[in-house]
Amino acid sequence: KAGVTQTPRYLIKTRGQQVTLSCSPISGHRSVSWYQQTPGQGLQFLFEYFSETQRNKGNFPGRFSGRQFSNSRSEMNVSTLELGDSALYLCASSARDRQTDTQYFGPGTRLTVL
């Protein structure tokens, strides 16, 4: 099976702009989670989508939003970008159809805000 894919891989934006990142999960996986990684902060959970519904949300401002489509592909959007939003954004997919639910990560999108 193909792994989790994320597009674009690199992105440069300026403050105040908005950005949309895309994630295609492993075929058959219905859950997509998004994480933000900045130096020294580890991976911070943003939100999880399952069956087109947001199931859980981390402690991020409302500028961070997401959605999931019927084919399980997901997008996350960040509006009114700030310098501190510069980070590696990772998405992970899981099947959520058995007792243990392993997440598999994509390569990430490196966002730089100038």
Partner 1 sequence: DAKTTQPPSMDCAEGRAANLPCNHSTISGNEYVYWYRQIHSQGPQYIIHGLKNNETNEMASLIITEDRKSSTLILPHATLRDTAVYYCIVRVASGYQKVTFGIGTKLQVIP
- Shortest Å distance, C-beta 17 to partner 1: 23
Tokens of 22: 């895309």
Q: Are 33 and 91 in contact (CB under 8 A)?
A: yes
Q: Give 48 or 85: the residue with its C-beta nearer to partner 1.
A: 48
Nearest distance from C-beta of residue 16 to partner 1, angstroms: 26
**Residues making contact with partner 1 (CB under 8 A):** 4, 35, 37, 40-45, 48, 50, 55-58, 88, 90, 92, 96, 99-108, 110
Q: How far is the CB of 49 from partner 1 (least distance, A)?
A: 10
Cβ-based nearer residue to partner 1, 51 or 71: 51
Nearest approach, Cβ of residue 62 and partner 1 (Å): 17
Which CB atom, from 70 or from 100, has the smaller least distance to partner 1? 100
Query: 3-state class of 84 per DSSP?
Result: helix
Radius of gyration of the chain (CA): 13
Instruction: Write out the two tokens for 95.
Output: 């099947």
